[in-house]
């Protein structure tokens, strides 16, 4: 992700400088170590669509025999958001608390990312149907947006009647787009924030 971001930044800088177009990004990506690494690893994850043992066998074949040069590319059978199971099929995972050395709490991590948003810009995260979180996401999926978002942008907080209601802290967003990809009902309308402020942004 960091590598593709750097390539995008370099290509964008080139666009601003020489008036070419964003095709430069794709050219840079295709000619980079990022593309080479992703291409070599492209079959590992979809191989497990065929089950654990076929997945292990195909992955081993890819890794040790063809070394990523297989003449085929396996596909996922369904998009990511359809791969989310309902919560009743799983047990909650108890994660260890951050140790402050190698792992950090969310607020510290968001602060260190140096993400910046202008406070008066239009909201870049909107719900297509504002009722879906409380009617579907929370009861069926245990509110996955409050779990996969790395910046705790989505929080279920009690309203004046004590009922859980989704609250969106859009100013904390790190622009990873996990919510856009993973929301089970594809209910999040994600638009690019103003100003290019993102992780590592500096207003200097």
Residues that bind ligand SF4 (CB under 6 A): 125, 149-151, 153, 173-179
Nearer to ligand SF4, 6 or 106 (CB): 106
Place of tokens 């996990």: 178
Burial class (CB in 10 A: 0-12, 13-18, 19+), 18: exposed
Nearer to ligand SF4, 55 or 199 (CB): 199
Place of tokens 């590598």: 3
Q: Which two tokens stand for residue 120?
A: 């008066």
CB of 200 to ligand SF4, least distance (A): 14
- Give, in order, the Cα–Cα distances in Å from 115 to each of 22, 84, 172, 187: 24, 28, 7, 24
100 in the Ramachandran plot: left (φ > 0), alpha (ψ -120 to 50) or beta? left
CB of 79 to ligand SF4, least distance (A): 16
What is the spatial distance between Cα 41 and Cα 59, in angstroms, rounded to a whole number? 9
Nearer to ligand SF4, 58 or 141 (CB): 141
Nearer to ligand SF4, 40 or 126 (CB): 126
Nearer to ligand SF4, 87 or 178 (CB): 178
Burial class (CB in 10 A: 0-12, 13-18, 19+), 77: exposed
CB of 151 to ligand SF4, least distance (A): 4
CB of 107 to ligand SF4, least distance (A): 13
CB of 128 to ligand SF4, least distance (A): 15
């Amino acid at each position: 992700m960091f590598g593709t971001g750097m390539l995008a930044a370099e290509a964008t800088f080139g666009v601003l400088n020489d008036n070419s177009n964003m095709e430069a990004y794709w050219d840079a990506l295709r000619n980079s170590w990022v593309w080479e690494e992703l291409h070599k690893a492209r079959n590992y994850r979809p191989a497990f669509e065929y089950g654990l043992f076929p997945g292990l066998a195909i992955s081993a074949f890819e890794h040790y025999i063809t070394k990523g040069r297989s003449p085929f590319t396996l596909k996922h059978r369904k998009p990511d958001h359809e791969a989310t199971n309902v919560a009743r099929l799983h047990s909650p995972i108890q994660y260890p608390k951050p140790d402050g050395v190698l792992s950090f709490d969310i607020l510290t991590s968001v602060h260190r990312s140096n993400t910046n948003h202008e406070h008066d810009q239009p909201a870049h995260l909107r719900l297509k149907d504002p009722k879906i979180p409380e009617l579907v996401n929370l009861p069926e999926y245990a509110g996955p947006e409050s779990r996969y978002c790395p910046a705790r942008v989505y929080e279920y907080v009690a309203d004046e009647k004590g009922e859980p209601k989704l609250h969106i802290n859009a100013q904390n967003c790190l622009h990873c787009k996990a919510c856009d990809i993973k929301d089970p009902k594809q209910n999040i309308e994600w638009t690019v924030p103003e100003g290019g402020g993102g992780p590592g942004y500096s207003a200097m």
